[in-house]
Chain A
Amino acid sequence: ETGVTQTPRHLVMGMTNKKSLKCEQHLGHNAMYWYKQSAKKPLELMFVYNFKEQTENNSVPSRFSPECPNSSHLFLHLHTLQPEDSALYLCASSLFGQGKNGYTFGSGTRLTVV
């Protein structure tokens, strides 16, 4: 699949579980992002990575832990989540410093916390 690929597509986890979301892009982009999409807040920026370095953490609780080993891969490690964390988690990528190009989004991971 070209573009931005997210796995898994769906995830159900208990509040004591530890799981990870994965995002991968081969578009030559150097910036990657995690967004949370829910009915309450339509599109909420969580983290920004530029050339593997985290440049923004939008006051996200520590139960969400991002990891960016290289410019093509981005992870979101989850632990001791709450039911209110259930949402669609979107990954996006772009060419950092070139705002005119816009973002390419993945299909998202639908997370349900039980």
Chain B
Amino acid sequence: AQRVTQPEKLLSVFKGAPVELKCNYSYSGSPELFWYVQYSRQRLQLLLRHISRESIKGFTADLNKGETSFHLKKPFAQEEDSAMYYCALGTNAGKSTFGDGTTLTVKP
């Protein structure tokens, strides 16, 4: 069975501080990992995917198969980063499994 765990329901940092949102997964096959973001009153949208190795809005995430983790990081948080973040595990069977989400608050 596939599972995604986001251990922090709430995370609060000050503007300019580094931020790391944790995500751990369990899956016996070859996983595809994603981060989604939901800003206030906006739709849930894909932020980044591990296969692309991209940096979006200053965020990066590295897949660590040994630790089965896909933590989301940003060196300098901005107030506009305040949002709900979901980690998700996708498979070629089509269904994605989402974590419970982490609400990030960046304080001025």
List the interface of chain A (C-beta within 8 A of B). 31, 41-43, 45, 48, 50, 55-56, 90, 94, 96-108
Contacts and interface: CB of A to CB of B under 8 A. Distances in A.
Interface stretch (B15-23, B64-72, B91-99): B91-99
For this complex, into which size category does the number of interface residues on chain B fall? 20 to 34
A7 to B, nearest CB: 14
Contacts of A96: 94
B86 interface: yes
Contacts of B94: 31, 48, 50, 55, 94, 96-97, 99
Contacts of A31: 94
B43 A43 contact: no
Contacts, number: 60
Contacts of A98: 92
A67 B91 CA distance: 24
A99 B46 contact: no
B59 to A, nearest CB: 15
Given A97-B92, A102-B88, A43 B46 contact: no
B45 interface: yes
Interface in B56-85: 84
